[in-house]
Amino acid sequence: MGVNVFDEFGKLYFVGEVFSNETVEQPLVTERREVYSFPFGNAEIVQLAFSGIYIVYGDMLLYKAQKLNFEITGDIDLVEMHFSLAGDGRMKNLLTGKEFHFKANEHNLHYTPSFTGTGEYGSTKHYKFFEVHFTKRFFIELAKDSSPSLMQFAEKIAKGKENDLSRENMPITFAMHQCINDIMHANFTGGLKLLYLQSKCIELLSMQAQMHEDAASKAASLICKPGHDTDSIHFAKEYLLQHAAQPPSLTELAKIAGINEFKLKQGFKALYNNTVFGYLSDYKLNQARDLLVSKSSIKEVADQLGYSSVQHFNSAFRKKFGLPPGKVKKG
């Protein structure tokens, strides 16, 4: 991939050559290091690509506060782990209106199918960043049977939805810094370098996912008192799944579980990273897929799981999986 950069006067500066799909997918490490000198500052960029992973990191010094325009080039669909090592600022995707704020020593996981936008930077500062990009295909494979947050993230990007792992950026730990340093200074060659870099990138993703899971658990503990509250929410979840075909209302479920409605909604979201009925919908549709694979008819599945009509079931199934239930049945 590459980046077109435009200064405040609209002048174009090209940063980096585009790595093709073939380069990113091939089972050997391609590396490129480039130095740039612009009227507004200097930059050094390093890029590596191998086996479905694209790494880019750099160091940029700006002479004064800048507002730059960016256009990402290339046709590779990537999921990005972003680590801000130094410097603060913000970027805005003009295609979607979404803003990304970055501060030194923070990280997040992003999926942005396309980006054309602006970046705002303070004056006379070093900006250092480190990014690991996974191809969409490779990331979805990595996320299978992993942490709940990564699996849910993968479900959203499979549908092409712009998404962030965490609502707020998370702090970079010492272990993450060490892993990033190991990647930057890997002195191996050939196939050993490929295996080393691949394992380190996956290790970094694992640490990022675990941090998000830990933060979610902490948030849950702040909302729900250990003991009665969490037990009630777990009970509510089990009761909901047992009565999936004819579920109670939220008010009824709270009474059955012996917890107030606010704690049920907030605590459920914190514990399961989903709304009460979003969780139920996912459960029913996953069950539906299994039933269709086992050759149940579409009408039988819709009736068994309590959908008001086959049309309603078809619509919900297509929205979640991106294909009609008939395609699963034929498969």
User: What pLDDT sits at residue 203?
Assistant: 96
Q: Please, what is the Cα angle at 88 between 85 and 93, to 5 degrees?
A: 105
- Residue range 241-278, pLDDT digits in tens: 999 889 999 999 999 999 988 888 888 887 787 899 99
| Region label for 99, one of left (φ > 0), alpha (ψ between -120 and 50) or beta (otherwise) | beta
Higher pLDDT: 15 or 191? It is 191
Q: Is the pLDDT of residue 148 over 60?
A: yes
User: What pLDDT sits at residue 2?
Assistant: 66
Domains of the chain are 2-219 (2.60.120.10), 224-330 (1.10.10.60)
pLDDT band at 239 (very low <50, low <70, confident <90, very high): very high
User: What pLDDT sits at residue 240?
Assistant: 92
User: What pLDDT sits at residue 46?
Assistant: 93
Task: Identify the CA nearest to 56 among candidates 74, 81, 93.
Answer: 81
What global pTM score does this model have?
Answer: 0.68
User: What pLDDT sits at residue 18?
Assistant: 64
For the residues 163-181, what does the mean pLDDT come to?
93
Residue 304: what residue type?
Q
- Residue range 28-45, pLDDT digits in tens: 999 999 998 888 889 999
pLDDT band at 66 (very low <50, low <70, confident <90, very high): confident
**CA separation for the pair 157, 154 (Å, rounded):** 5
pLDDT band at 16 (very low <50, low <70, confident <90, very high): low
Task: Identify the CA nearest to 20 among candidates 161, 138, 112, 135.
Answer: 135
How far, in Å, are 105, 252, 289 from residue 159 at the CA level? 31, 33, 17
Higher pLDDT: 330 or 190? It is 190
- Residue range 217-227, pLDDT digits in tens: 776 666 666 66
User: What pLDDT sits at residue 68?
Assistant: 86
- Name the 3-class secondary structure at 108: strand
pLDDT, mean over the chain: 87
User: Is the sign of the CA dihedral 156, 76, 91, 166 positive or negative?
Assistant: positive
For the residues 203-229, what does the mean pLDDT come to?
78
The helix (run of H) or strand (run of E) holding residue 61 is strand 53-62
| Beta-bridge partners for 101 | 90
Q: Hey, which of 48-62, 109-123, 291-305, 316-330 has the most confident mean pLDDT?
A: 48-62
Q: Is the pLDDT of residue 327 over 70?
A: yes
Which of 158-162, 177-181, 184-188, 256-260 has the lowest average pLDDT? 158-162
